[in-house]
Structure 1
Amino acid sequence: MRVEAWLLSAGVVFFVPIGVIYGWASDWEPVGVVSFLLLGGMFALAGGYMWLTARRIDPRPEDNPTADIEDRAGDVGTFSPHSWWPLVMGAGVALAFLGVGVGWWLTGIGAVVALVAVAGQLTEFSRGMHAH
């Protein structure tokens, strides 16, 4: 997790000074300055979380520069073999974003479809032939 922590901390080191430089160059235009500083703050939150998590857990094979690829072998997670819910979720999100340009009523329909898809994917392993 050290690589991720360094990468996210580099975002803080980049965006906060850029926000100050942008503010000075734009005569402290409020939207851009606040955006850059908040972006640096978000990187600080994520980087701080990674640093704290890296201190609490053992080093992973990804953190060892001399590790082999097979050191990370094993189970990665549980994945659904034949799930249609991600396709339904993508269609719902596409409808929701299409509704911004076409009409707000379509955004509501897309949001409902996406929420049904999220519920379906969350409960997929609770019923049917893949139930646990």
Structure 2
Amino acid sequence: MKITARLMYLLGASFLAVDAIYLVWSLLADNFELIGLMTMGLSGILCLFLAFYFGRVVKAGGAVPWVEDRLDAEIDDGDPEVGFYSPWSWWPVLLAGSLAIMFVGVAISAWIVMIAVPLLAVCIVGWVYEYYRGYFAR
């Protein structure tokens, strides 16, 4: 995590340096453009915020060191269990379909959204309670 903090400080400083160069260059060309300036500046500030957070966590000593920071780490140590996902479940597909219908409704007309919202609620409830009913109930 200490290396990540240093990299974030470096990345934030480089974003802010490029932002200053961009500002000078755009002012010299009489073509001031605010969006690029804000994007690079805020990206630099975000990197500095993350670097400060990672540095404080390391300094507090409360963080478990990442596998990348340990010198005795093996390759297999960096591959944790991500989570359990049902390979046979159709609920994520139905949820994506209902979200697609809802976004189409936002783009086209509000009555399509009124159809999609109950369908979306049914799909979320079905996915959450998938293991509480039927053959795979626990």
Alignment TM-score, normalising by the size of structure 2: 0.61
Equivalent residue for 1:24?
24
Equivalent residue for 2:52?
48
| Letter in structure 2 aligned against 1:81 | S
Q: Out of 86, 97, 109, which is 1:81 matched to?
A: 86
User: Would the alpha carbon gap of residues 71 and 31 (structure 1) be closer, same or farther in structure 2, given more than 3 Å must change?
Assistant: closer
Measured after TM superposition, the shift of residue 33 of structure 1 is 1.3
User: Would the alpha carbon gap of residues 99 and 79 (structure 1) be closer, same or farther in structure 2, given more than 3 Å must change?
Assistant: same
User: Would the alpha carbon gap of residues 62 and 15 (structure 1) be closer, same or farther in structure 2, given more than 3 Å must change?
Assistant: same
**C-alpha distance in 2, partners of 1:48/1:72?**
24
Pairwise CA RMSD:
3.8
Measured after TM superposition, the shift of residue 17 of structure 1 is 0.9
User: Would the alpha carbon gap of residues 120 and 16 (structure 1) be closer, same or farther in structure 2, given more than 3 Å must change?
Assistant: farther
* Unaligned residue ranges in structure 1 (runs of 5+): none
* Unaligned residue ranges in structure 2 (runs of 5+): none
| Letter in structure 1 aligned against 2:70 | N
Measured after TM superposition, the shift of residue 41 of structure 1 is 1.4
Higher CA-based Rg: 2
Measured after TM superposition, the shift of residue 72 of structure 1 is 4.8
User: Would the alpha carbon gap of residues 87 and 18 (structure 1) be closer, same or farther in structure 2, given more than 3 Å must change?
Assistant: farther
Equivalent residue for 2:65?
59
SS of equivalent residue, structure 2 residue 64: coil
Query: Equivalent pairs: percent with the same residue?
Result: 24
User: Would the alpha carbon gap of residues 95 and 20 (structure 1) be closer, same or farther in structure 2, given more than 3 Å must change?
Assistant: farther
Alignment TM-score, normalising by the size of structure 1: 0.63
**C-alpha distance in 1, partners of 2:99/2:22?**
34
**C-alpha distance in 2, partners of 1:69/1:126?**
34
**Aligned residue-pair number:** 126
**C-alpha distance in 1, partners of 2:48/2:119?**
31
Deviates more, 1:117-126 or 1:31-40: 117-126
User: Would the alpha carbon gap of residues 119 and 53 (structure 1) be closer, same or farther in structure 2, given more than 3 Å must change?
Assistant: farther
